[in-house]
């Protein structure tokens, strides 16, 4: 791989979520975002509020208080920002680094740590395989930090809340009963190394084709065609 020089509009920090959701969707949209910081707005206020409530409720709790299937430990931090050292691809140090905010960091009795990604889902489906790369990205940044001392990450997984039923009545407060489910992922440094390599080669290469079912690209193309005739 040739040395990379970023343009003034390029984005140097790679978000862990872009390694999953972004990568799984339209590569042209990703390319535009990382080369020109052009991105369609996304508004999910309720999801953000629920996620914050979930994370705060876990602060200071042991794994046994959250889910008995979780490895032994206690919530050490929440909503922590991480930034990695520059990423190396094919022996070349690139100007890119992983930067993101994890949900929960568990501390285990042996002094190692665990990454927990909190999710609200309509049903408690196991999506750990899909999110494994994102969890590995956080682990990579914690074990290879730009600042601070590195820490050893031994576990990772999803803590999934799913609605069960509504409780209460109109004369009092309503409540939402939730199930709490744990879906672990296996540590795989090779997985994140491969994805980062593919990701960086894509965003530093030529403009990719739009994904066939990308709504954003379809909107832009249709809008452009319509305005040509106005």
Higher pLDDT, 169 or 104: 104
Residues 197-219: pLDDT tens digits?
Answer: 999 999 999 999 999 999 999 99
Q: Record the tokens describing residue 27, joined without a space.
A: 């590569």
Per-residue confidence (pLDDT) for residue 44, from 0 to 100: 63
Residues 86-143: pLDDT tens digits?
Answer: 999 999 999 999 999 999 999 999 999 999 999 988 899 999 999 999 999 999 999 9
229 burial (CB, 10 Å; 0-12 / 13-18 / 19+) is exposed
Give the C-alpha separation, 23 to 19, whole Å. Answer: 5
> What percent of the chain stands above pLDDT 90?
81
Per-residue confidence (pLDDT) for residue 46, from 0 to 100: 63
SS3 content of the chain, % helix, strand, coil (to 5): 35, 25, 40
Give the C-alpha separation, 63 to 58, whole Å. Answer: 9
Average pLDDT along the chain: 94
Give the C-alpha separation, 104 to 80, whole Å. Answer: 8
Domain 13-228: assigned CATH number = 3.90.320
Strands 153-167 and 74-78: unpaired
Residues 14-44: pLDDT tens digits?
Answer: 999 999 999 999 999 999 999 999 998 876 6
């Amino acid at each position: 791989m040739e040395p990379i020089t970023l343009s003034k509009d390029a984005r140097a920090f790679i978000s862990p979520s872009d390694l999953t959701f972004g990568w799984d969707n339209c590569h042209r949209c990703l390319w535009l975002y990382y080369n020109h910081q052009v991105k369609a707005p996304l508004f999910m206020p309720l999801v953000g509020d629920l996620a914050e409530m979930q994370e705060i409720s876990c602060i200071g709790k042991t794994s046994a208080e959250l889910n008995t299937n979780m490895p032994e430990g206690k919530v050490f931090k929440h909503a922590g920002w991480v930034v990695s050292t520059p990423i190396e691809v094919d022996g070349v140090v690139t100007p890119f680094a992983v930067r993101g905010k994890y949900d929960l960091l568990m501390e285990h009795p042996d002094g190692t740590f665990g990454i927990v990604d909190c999710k609200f889902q309509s049903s408690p489906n196991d999506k750990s395989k899909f999110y494994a790369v994102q969890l590995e990205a956080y682990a990579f940044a914690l074990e290879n930090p730009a600042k601070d001392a590195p820490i050893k990450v031994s576990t990772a997984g999803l803590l999934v809340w799913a609605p069960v039923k509504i409780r209460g009545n109109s004369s009092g407060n309503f409540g939402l009963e939730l199930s709490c489910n744990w879906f672990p992922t296996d540590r795989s440094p090779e997985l994140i190394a491969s994805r980062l390599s593919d990701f960086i080669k894509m965003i530093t290469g030529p403009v990719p084709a739009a994904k066939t079912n990308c709504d954003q690209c379809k909107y832009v193309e249709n809008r452009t065609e319509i305005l040509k005739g106005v």
